[in-house]
Amino acid sequence: MPETIILANAKILDPEKGTLSADSQVRISDGHIAEISASPIKADGARTIDLKGKTLMPGLIDCHVHVVAGIASLGGNNAFPDSLVTARAARIMRDMLMRGFTTVRDVGGADIGLVVAIEEGLILGPRLVICGKALSQTGGHGDFRGPYDDRPVGSHEHRLGSVGRIVNGEREIRLAAREQIKNGAKFIKIMANGGIASPTDPIHFLQFSEMELRAVTEEARMAGTYVAGHLYTDAAIRRFIECGGHSVEHGNLVTPETAAMMKERGAVVVPTLSTFEAVAEEGARLGFPEVSLAKIEAVRSRGLSSLEIYRKAGVKMAYGTDLLGPLHRHQSREFLIRSKVLPSADIIRSATIIGAELVGLAEQIGTIKVGALADVIAVNGNPLVDISVLSGQGENIPLVIKGGAIIKQEGRPVLW
C-alpha cells in the first residue's frame, strides 16, 4: 500500500484557472490526494517533502505515443520478437516517467500485456491507455509493404511491434474494432488519411470509405468510447468528423471552416509537431526513406498555423508527440514548439486536464484536487511564466509521484 506523504510549502498550479496558489500543504494517502491546506498538516508516520520554491502540478499526459516503436522505422518494429520489443518499450516508458509524464495514450501497438505489467509493477512506466492495433486499409498508413512486397496480409500483424492491422470492408472493420475492445482497448484508432512513414500512400489519399468510417464509429459508440483518426488534410478531417469521429491526430492542414465544425461537434485534436521537427532534422541520418522525408515538409510547414486555427475556433487541443526510436528524447520539446504561438497556460492545459478527458480519466488525473489520483510532479520554477522548465529530459523536475508512489526524487529515480 502506498505510504502517506506530505508535500509542504508547495505552490500548486491549477491548470484550469492557469494560476499558482500561495504556499500550500498536500497530504497523499492510499494513492490519492487526501487533503490540501494552507496550514501545516500532521499525520503519524508520514514522509514530509519540502517543496519550498518549487511548483507542484499534475503529472503530464502525452496523448499520442507509440511505446513499441523502439527503432525509428515505424513499420520495421514488427520484425523483432515480442521479448525484445517489450524490453525496449520498458526503457522508453521509464524515460517518459523521468520527464514527468505519468500517463500516456498509445495510438497503435501496445497491448493489454504491457498495461497489466505496469499495473503489477513489473515494468516501471506511466499509466498506459491503449487502442490496441490501429486499423488500416490495404495500401493505407498502416500497410508498410512496398509496391514489390507480396507478403500476405496479416503475416506480421500479431507481433507486439506491429503498430496496426489491415482490414477492408464494413464486416472486417467491425470485427477488428470489436476484437480491439475485447482485448482491452479504451478507444479505436484508424488510419483515415495518407501518411509519412508508409510507402505507398501520398498525404492527400483519403482512406476507408464513408461506409467503413461510419461502421467503426458506430462500433465505438456502442462500446461507450470513440474513434481517433490519423489525419492531415482538411478533406480527410472533415469527412472523419462527419462520419462520427472524435479525436483528430495530427490535423496540420485544417481550415478555419473545418475547425469550426469540429468545435460544434465536440471533437478534439492532438497535434504532434515535435515529430515533424525531429524527423526533418534527423530523419536522413536515421534511415528514413526519401519518399517519407519529402512528405514531411508539406505538413511541417503548416503545423504552427494549425494551432492558431484550432485556438481561434475553440477546439480542445491535447498534448501529443508521435516520436519513434531514438527520437523519443524530444518528447518535451513539444512544449517549446507550441509556445511560439500559444500561451503557456493553454499548453499546460493540453498536457493535463484536456489529456485527462481524452484518456477517460477526467477528475482523476490532470488535476490536484482532493479525491484525485496522486499523479503529481514538482518543477523548479514556474511553467506558467517559463514553459521551458518542462522541456529536456526532466532536469527541472526533481520529484515525480505516480499513484502515491515516489518514482523520482531529487532528480534521481527511486524505484529501480
Cα separations (Å) of 337 from 15, 230, 243? 19, 21, 31
Extract the runs of DSSP E, i.e. beta strands, from 218-266. 227-233, 247-253
Per-residue pLDDT of the chain (416 residues; tens, 9 = 90+): 579 999 999 999 999 999 999 999 999 999 999 999 999 999 999 999 999 999 999 999 999 999 999 999 888 899 999 999 999 999 999 999 999 999 999 999 999 999 999 999 999 999 999 999 999 999 888 887 777 677 777 767 889 999 999 999 999 999 999 999 999 999 999 999 998 878 878 899 999 999 999 999 999 999 999 999 999 999 999 999 999 999 999 999 999 999 999 999 999 999 999 999 999 999 889 888 787 888 888 899 999 999 999 999 999 999 999 999 999 999 999 999 999 999 999 999 999 999 999 999 999 999 999 999 999 999 999 999 999 999 999 999 999 999 999 999 987 778 65
Taking a C-beta distance cutoff of 8 angstroms, is the pair 108, 142 a contact? yes
Task: Extract the C-alpha cell encoding 113.
Answer: 500485456
Overall pTM surpassing 0.95 (yes/no)? yes
Would you give the distance in Å from CA 27 to the centre of its chain?
Answer: 28
pLDDT of residue 157: 81
Domains of the chain: 5-58+367-413 (2.30.40.10), 60-331 (3.20.20.140)
pLDDT tens digits for range 333-392: 999 999 999 999 999 999 999 999 999 999 999 999 999 999 999 999 999 999 999 999
* Rounded CA separation 263/254 (Å): 13
Nearest in space to 128 (alpha carbons), one of 139, 141, 142, 114: 114
∠ CA 275-77-198, nearest 5°, is: 60
Taking a C-beta distance cutoff of 8 angstroms, is the pair 248, 267 a contact? yes
DSSP secondary structure letters along 69-124? --SS-TGGGGGS-HHHHHHHHHHHHHHHHHTTEEEEEE-SS--HHHHHHHHTTSS-
pLDDT tens digits for range 198-234: 887 889 999 999 999 999 999 999 999 999 999 999 9
